[in-house]
Amino acid sequence: MTAPQKTACVEIGGIPIALSTTSDSFLELLRQRYDGFLSSSRPEFELEFDLTAPGPGSDDDVRVHHNKNDNDKNDVGAWILERGDFHARWDPHTGRGQVRQNSNPYSLDSVMRILHSLILAERGGFLLHAASAICDGRAYLFSGVSGAGKTTMTRLAPPDITLLTDEISYLRPKAGGYSAFGTPFAGELARPGENCSAPVAALFFLEKGPANRVDELSSTEAVRRLMRNILFFAEDPGLVEKLFAVACDFVDTVPIRRLTFYPDARVWDEVRKFDGHFEPNSNHNSFSNVEGVPEHA
């Protein structure tokens, strides 16, 4: 006799997903991991977990590709998500998927992030490698490579700042701009974000330096940096094109600056000073014939 499925509905970014398992202990892990993001909304999507023997996460590269199994014509269009510690199949048409993984929470987070990146790509949103926080009712994003200062910015935040995430920002188009949502995906801070959202006021690309300073970026440089920091794994040129168009729209809509900062609390004065009035990201004239920089979404 098969054990009954138990379900927790997790709503991140306003997208409720039902996560089902027969394991009581895994259900408890889900509930603890996504506490604050549990929802009673009707799920838009469903993921069913089939657990393997306990094991660690994996440092292997993630692969996300369309199912190429010619023997299953009904499965055309489904996504296969795989890494050393998980293998998942996701059908965007039915909104249902199956995950085979061990009970490691890092594997769970990875599957959830990939799934959300696929859903968002179809809806004009994206996940960004960035910290984000709400200040005076508006969301500020702080992006950069590991060590650039994302977690530092959140640690330095004054008490009236609402943390959305110190690692993975969740962005969706809304009312002529973009909204940032809190996520449970934590970085070094090891603390989930608040489950709330706010319109995006600005995106700062972080660099540490001897003093605080905000500089403009050319639109092309902004798109280049943005694409470099968007989390996207799918091997699908069509979706990459969509993402590029979304990144260009984001740069057209949201002020993007470089924030060089000395790591003390005064950096938040610079953020507060940035009033967020829309100014087109500046044009940087290049006279080179062609400038090619290989990067990956």
DSSP character at residue 209: -
Asked if 284 interacts with another protein (CB under 8 A), we say yes
State the nearest-atom distance from the C-beta of 220 to another protein, in Å. Answer: 5
State the nearest-atom distance from the C-beta of 252 to another protein, in Å. Answer: 8
State the nearest-atom distance from the C-beta of 234 to another protein, in Å. Answer: 11
CA distances from 83 to 33, 61, 145, 183, 273 (A): 21, 6, 23, 22, 44
Asked if 5 interacts with another protein (CB under 8 A), we say no
Cα 173 from Cα 176, distance rounded (Å): 7
- Look at the block and give the residue holding tokens 């993001």: 37
- When the beta carbons of 210 and 238 are compared against another protein, the nearer one is 238
Asked if 74 interacts with another protein (CB under 8 A), we say no
Cα 105 from Cα 32, distance rounded (Å): 10
Among 227, 231, 234, 271, binds another protein (CB under 8 A): 227
User: In terms of C-beta distances under 8 Å and separation of at least 24 residues, what long-range contacts does 181-186 make, across chains too?
Assistant: 181/12, 181/13, 181/14, 183/12, 183/13, 184/12, 184/33, 184/34, 184/36, 184/37, 184/109, 185/109, 185/112, 185/113
Q: Which two tokens stand for residue 210?
A: 């001897």
Asked if 279 interacts with another protein (CB under 8 A), we say no
The DSSP secondary structure of 157-201, one letter per residue, reads: --TTPEEEESSEEEEEEETTEEEEE--S---TT--PPPS-EEEEE
Residues within window 228-257 making contact with another protein, judged by CB under 8 A: 237-238, 240-242, 244-245, 248, 251-252
Per-residue binding letters, 180-219, with another protein (x by CB under 8 A)? --------------------------------------xx
- When the beta carbons of 208 and 242 are compared against another protein, the nearer one is 242
Q: Are 13 and 164 in contact (CB under 8 A)?
A: no
- When the beta carbons of 160 and 291 are compared against another protein, the nearer one is 291
Asked if 291 interacts with another protein (CB under 8 A), we say yes
State the nearest-atom distance from the C-beta of 257 to another protein, in Å. Answer: 15
Kindly determine how many residues on this chain lie close enough to bind another protein according to the rule CB under 8 A.
34
State the nearest-atom distance from the C-beta of 291 to another protein, in Å. Answer: 5
CB atoms within 10 A of CB 32: 9
- When the beta carbons of 262 and 278 are compared against another protein, the nearer one is 278
> Which residues, in sequence order, are CB contacts of 26 under 8 Å at separation 6+?
49, 51, 103
State the nearest-atom distance from the C-beta of 283 to another protein, in Å. Answer: 4
Asked if 296 interacts with another protein (CB under 8 A), we say yes
Asked if 66 interacts with another protein (CB under 8 A), we say no
Residues within window 110-149 making contact with another protein, judged by CB under 8 A: none
Cα 176 from Cα 250, distance rounded (Å): 10
- Look at the block and give the residue holding tokens 């292997």: 60
Residues near another protein (CB under 8 A): 218-220, 223-224, 227, 237-238, 240-242, 244-245, 248, 251-252, 280-297
